[in-house]
């Protein structure tokens, strides 16, 4: 196996076989998934054209993982929302937001796993992550349209405000609780609609 600091080249042939040039062996999508979990960096190239097809292969790995029983990480509502963003003016913001969000979540995963339940309620940890995600989204919006980010209440660490603009007030815990209740209610309604359709 190639060292984690090296980028392994995987060649994909017309017969759909994948060849690991680091180990000189044919591999499967499952092997590539294990490499990702082991933090081994790789790129997948079309063997004939040399084109980088890493994105397509990683998407295929996710598709296969999602089809395994009990392996679903992406809720139906998330998938629908993601599909809606294709072709939307917000499409250019979403990749940076999702990448930043997942990076932040990965940094916090040890806290989620190792926190004693007596001192850290998992729901509180998720709420803290949601707040960080909201800030990341504001920062992403600020990169593309600082006026929209300002209207959303970007923080001092995010996008710069126009001169003379006042900083937003910090979020009220009661407002956060109300938003959480509204989200829970919306989730129930969406699930009820999905149940009716199926």
Asked if residue 96 belongs to a domain, the reply is yes
- The Cα–Cα gap between 185 and 191 comes to 10
Let me know whether 89 and 47 are in one domain: no
Mean pLDDT value across residues 95-110: 79
31 belongs to a structural domain: yes
**Average pLDDT of 124-132?**
68
Domain assignment present for residue 28? The answer is yes
- DSSP state, 74? S
Residues 89 and 62 in one domain: no
Give per-residue pLDDT as tens, 49-86: 999 999 999 999 999 988 887 778 888 998 999 899 99
Same domain, 108 and 61: no
Once rounded to an integer, what is the mean pLDDT over residues 2-27?
88
Please tell me the total number of residues recorded for the chain in this structure. Answer: 198
CATH number of the domain residue 62 falls in: 3.40.1170
Domain co-membership, 102 together with 60:
no
CA distance 54 to 12: 10
Q: Assess whether 42 and 115 both reside in one domain.
A: no
Mean pLDDT over the full length of the chain: 76
Q: Which of 5-9, 60-64, 183-187 has the lowest mean pLDDT?
A: 183-187
**DSSP codes of every residue in 149-184:** HHHHT--TTSSPPPTTPPPPPPPPHHHHHHHHHHHH
Count of structural domains, the chain: 2
Domain-embedded: residue 37: yes
Assigned domain for 157 exists: yes
Same domain membership, residue 103 and residue 54: no
122 and 95 within one domain: yes
Question: Is there a domain that residue 175 lies in?
Answer: no
Residue 80 confidence (pLDDT): 92
> Which among 36, 67, 98 is the end of a domain?
67
- pLDDT value at residue 142: 64
Most confident of 7-11, 67-71, 75-79, 134-138: 7-11
**90 shares a domain with 60:** no
Cβ proximity of 147 and 159 under 8 Å: no
Residues 37 and 107 placed together within one structural domain of the fold: no
Same domain, 37 and 92: no
- Note whether residue 172 is domain-resident: no
* pLDDT for 191: 73
Query: Does 46 fall in a domain?
Result: yes
Pair (105, 139) in one structural domain: yes
Beta carbons of 55 and 22 less than 8 angstroms apart: no
The helix-helix angle for 29-37 and 54-67 (nearest 10°) equals: 100
Range list of β-strands (E), the chain: 8-12, 18-20, 25-27, 42-46
Whole domain around residue 50: which residue ranges?
A: 8-67
Q: Are both 92 and 143 inside the same structural domain?
A: yes
% of residues, the chain, pLDDT over 70: 60
Please tell me the pTM assigned to this model. 0.57
């Amino acid at each position: 196996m190639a060292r984690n600091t090296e980028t392994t080249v995987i060649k994909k042939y017309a017969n759909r076989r994948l060849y690991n040039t680091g180990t000189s062996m044919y591999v499967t999508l499952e092997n590539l998934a294990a490499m990702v979990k082991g933090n081994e960096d790789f790129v997948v190239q079309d063997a004939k054209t040399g084109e980088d097809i890493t994105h397509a292969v990683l998407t295929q790995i996710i598709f296969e993982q999602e089809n395994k029983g009990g392996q679903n990480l992406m809720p139906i509502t998330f998938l629908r929302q993601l599909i809606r963003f294709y072709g939307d003016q917000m499409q250019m913001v979403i990749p940076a937001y999702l990448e930043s969000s997942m990076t932040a979540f990965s940094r916090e995963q040890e806290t989620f796993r190792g926190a004693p339940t007596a001192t850290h309620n998992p729901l509180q940890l998720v709420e803290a992550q949601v707040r960080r995600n909201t800030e990341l989204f504001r920062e992403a919006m600020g990169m593309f349209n600082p006026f929209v980010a300002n209207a959303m209440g970007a923080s001092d660490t995010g996008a710069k405000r126009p001169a003379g603009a006042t900083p937003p007030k910090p979020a009220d815990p009661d407002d956060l609780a109300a938003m959480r209740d509204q989200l829970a209610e919306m989730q129930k309604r969406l699930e009820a609609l999905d149940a009716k359709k199926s």
